[in-house]
Structure 1
């Protein structure tokens, strides 16, 4: 994970100092905290901005009465009893969420309260945003995700109120809506990638020893690893790293041409299909990707490996093998395929006078399954030879090596397709 240290010249530093001082004065007025305490708080290492720009205290205060989900117009009545808007707005946010300002008002008198709010902003920043709020990314779920993350690295922030999660989302301008309009629900929905939200929820439970397991990480939130690293560093050194550069350098791919080809074969009606059928294979494969049970098949042969690793029924493994061959025969995106490794052997060789070497033999399943593809490498000084050979009379007539492919990275393609 890398970070980008931002060079700050003297004029920028001066502007930053002024912003921090203004935030400190605003927070002091808002909470009743002494200015010196508020100023120290604005300079806290965790408040510098880990996954994005520093969170402005003035912005935090403003959204309480300016955000349409967190506030409502103030009404006043005249002598006749008629109500009219005063032009002002009042917050309806309390500790337990929306519509809780009177029963559970938010109090931010302690320094920890501010740091907790800023950290929840960072947790929400680690996800990718989407245009519209979704019920799959709702405040009460995400407040638990924040709690479980903090409990691992920062024990004293292990409780987060639902209202704090909503406040943080508003402060970083996430798309947001009341989860149940007209019902005065305390929860809000956010515009965050639902697959990433589910990944984070399950991962935190994994950290606590849950039986739930994640075997692939293509839905990991982009800022997830960097935020964890930053919190770990703070716990150890009381300092935080340079601001994140916005790139998850360990991100796993979300798609491939073969993946798209296969999932397009899911029954449009949503039916799972007959056991072991192509539709059934595509349905279960797509479900496994969505649930992080396995990764995306970047190459056709990955599909067979995934199913073997999952100890899938023989019918599904056979269906996967047939799908790989079908892809090679019919898809314009196919660049050839590799087959399954079934045996390998390495041995030393005394050489032919120019030094010792090795001989490597790899046997792969042939397309029809009744023969093999033999890959041999004579790594002997003065006598180097590399030769993949189709050792099946049937497949040798139907398949050929893709021209130009390296010896260790051979691929085969149908002869008829190659000629056409």
Structure 2
């Protein structure tokens, strides 16, 4: 019980008294007519507990930390993550500190932590545990051998990095990290993302895009697009069909018509350079070229700045035949603050 690993890495240490009380009094897994209903193998399993008297409390404390990291699911959401799946996730996350996590110990730790438990419709030794399904999927994919790693972190649990760091330090014999403080949730508004998600039920190319986008968010294949700029960047980062670009431009065009105050599109910078110029008698200066990806990705947006005294010129142009037809620069903006908007009339059914 004095081990640094048993002191609670993401919260207060679970007490032995609390663990024992759960096996006696819990509504679902507590004693039933004086008979235990939880064993090493899980709920209503006949396998007896296998205690070694040395590492049992440490293992239960660590399993509790993993479950605490996953955070409880919303009260409006019924428990849906299988204890059997969770036990494997805990094993992978906690190696080498736990070489094996039993189904029964996972359920025991969840009950001690106060997580909601439910028996599935089908009979068996597994229970459903009320942790975040999306958070669990993220962690499982991050730690499972040979798993498909998530490409975005919007479902990463808040304590994930701290717990990994604390365990790594313990493995290396270093002192424990400072006690973790649960960050205050920040409600980030994403009106473009919210609008795009709402287009799923339409019957046009924008609804197809919205469905694919929503699936990518759900599976952590890509990040959330807070703005049209980010949607274009995501489009260039993932595999897509030749027709997908048309739906992206159509969605951005409709968004800008729906929200006239929406900021124009800026694409990511891809390169550029600057060099000195001796000038033409009025003093030396620089000539600067800045390159950005064009919206379709096959050309460039080029800023050029002639900063030579007496010949100061600034220009920006779309060096892409397709984008010159489908996009235009927003009027009234200086060269360095250029912005694009789609040509009106892009939405098709």
User: What TM-score range do you get, normalising by the shorter chain?
Assistant: 0.7 to 0.9
2:44 maps to 1:99: yes
Contact 1:358 1:378 in 2 (8 A): yes
Deviations 1:226-276 (A, max 9, x none): 111110000002532121111399x9x9872111111101027xxxx66xx
2:2 maps to 1:52: no
Q: Secondary structure at the match of 2:114?
A: coil
Q: Secondary structure at the match of 2:165?
A: helix
Matches within 5 A, 1:18-417: 41=1, 43-74=2-33, 90-100=35-45, 103-130=46-73, 131=75, 134=78, 136-151=80-95, 154=96, 156-180=97-121, 184-205=123-144, 208-210=145-147, 212-247=148-183, 256-267=190-201, 277-331=205-259, 334-339=262-267, 345-350=272-277, 352=279, 357-362=286-291, 365=294, 374-378=302-306, 388=316, 399-401=330-332, 408=336, 410-412=338-340
2: CA distance between counterparts of 1:254 and 1:238?
36
* Structure-2-length-normalised TM-score: 0.82
2: CA distance between counterparts of 1:325 and 1:257?
15
Q: Secondary structure at the match of 1:192?
A: coil
Contact 2:82 2:127 in 1 (8 A): yes
Residue 32 of structure 1 aligns with which residue? none
Larger Rg: 1
* Structure-1-length-normalised TM-score: 0.70
Q: If each structure's strand is expressed as a fraction of its own residues, which one has the higher value?
A: 1
Change (3 A) 1:386 1:50: farther
Deviation at 1:307, TM superposition (A): 1.9
Greater displacement, 127-136 / 372-381: 372-381
Q: If each structure's helix is expressed as a fraction of its own residues, which one has the higher value?
A: 1
Change (3 A) 1:209 1:372: closer
Contact 1:202 1:213 in 2 (8 A): yes
Deviation at 1:157, TM superposition (A): 1.1
Contiguous gaps of at least 5 residues in structure 1: 1-40, 75-88
Deviation at 1:413, TM superposition (A): 5.8
Contact 1:51 1:223 in 2 (8 A): yes
For these two proteins, the number of residue pairs brought into alignment is 337
Change (3 A) 1:248 1:313: farther
Contact 1:52 1:244 in 2 (8 A): yes
Contact 1:133 1:190 in 2 (8 A): no
1: CA distance between counterparts of 2:154 and 2:326?
39
Q: Secondary structure at the match of 1:157?
A: coil
1: CA distance between counterparts of 2:8 and 2:309?
57
Contact 1:175 1:191 in 2 (8 A): yes
Contact 2:209 2:244 in 1 (8 A): yes
Change (3 A) 1:344 1:337: same
Change (3 A) 1:124 1:70: same
Q: Secondary structure at the match of 1:346?
A: strand
RMSD: 3.6
